[in-house]
Amino acid sequence: MTTALITGATSGIGAAFARRLARDGHDVVLAARKTERLRTQAAELHDQHGVEVSVLTADLATEDGISALEQRLGDRARPVDLLVNNAGFGTKGRFLEVPLADELTMLRVHCEAVLRSTTAAAEAMRERGRGGVVNVASVAAFVPNGTYSASKAWIVQFTQGAARNLAGTGVRLMALCPGFVRTEFHDRAGLDTGQVPGWMWLDASRVVDAALADLARGRELSVPDPRYKAMTGLAKLAPSRVLSRATSSTRRRYGPK
């Protein structure tokens, strides 16, 4: 039986990945900051699907948390076949309004933790000749708008480059770029989403279904939903200065992902 490890597993897209993978018969490792919430979720998944579910308490804003994740991914006696790097957060405010400490924490969670965990997982997977990594980015990666967008753009570029470097090894890497998803993400960041049009919202379970289908097809980039595919295509064609002006006010009101 294969094992999947999901970071940021207790809510939103991470929880949707955990439910889908457990339903499909995968053993699951749930990684997040809150131990009690992890244990409750683990018990529910085990009772519902009969798979083995373990928990890893890890705050990926800390060295100890990232190290614990690396160690689990590098454990050859308990191999991880699929890593889903979903942990992340948003901030409210424009550049110079957000404390620098929060910006640095975001880079650690979105970039350093993703780099180190992907490295640990891919090394072990390459030895076995199989495995997959899904790094959750955002459609915000395609527009220049502060540290959040920049960090998600880094995830996309890093993941696609690493995927090409590992071509032929049996290890697949893919960046997942959802748009607005109905999760706790915006509430935790204190972002007002009341004016976001209904058509822009996606369901977390459907995002996961699309992502896993794209991973099975060997894609390096997954943008769930045709509407967001069209939007990202337009973003690649529009001048960056125009995009920056158009999106800065939107992010102040609604936030990313």
Instruction: Answer whether residue 53 shows pLDDT above 80.
Output: yes
Question: 3-class DSSP state for residue 5?
Answer: strand
Share the mean pLDDT of the chain. 88
What does the alpha-carbon distance between residue 69 and residue 58 come to, in Å, rounded to a whole number? Answer: 7
Domains of the chain, residue spans: 3-254
Q: Which fold has domain 3-254?
A: Rossmann fold (3.40.50)
- Residue 148 annotated among the catalytic residues of the structure: yes
Q: What pLDDT digit, counting tens, does each position of 105-164 carry?
A: 999 999 999 999 999 999 999 999 999 999 999 999 998 889 999 999 999 999 999 999
Backbone angles phi, psi at 41, to 5 degrees: -65, -40
| C-alpha torsion angle, residues 120, 135, 107, 111 (rounded to 10) | 40
pLDDT at 247 over 90: no
Instruction: List the catalytic residue out of 148, 158, 180, 185.
Output: 148
pLDDT of residue 197: 59
**pTM of structure:** 0.87
Q: State what percent of residues in the chain have pLDDT above 70.
A: 83
Alpha carbon distance 161, 86 (integer Å):
19
In sequence order, which ranges of 35-170 are alpha helices (DSSP H)? Answer: 35-49, 63-73, 100-107, 113-128, 146-165
Pairing relation of β-strands 171-176 and 221-222? Answer: parallel
| Largest interatomic CA distance in the chain | 52
Instruction: List beta partners, residue 3.
Output: 27
d(CA 86, CA 29): 13
Q: Which two tokens stand for residue 70?
A: 């690396």
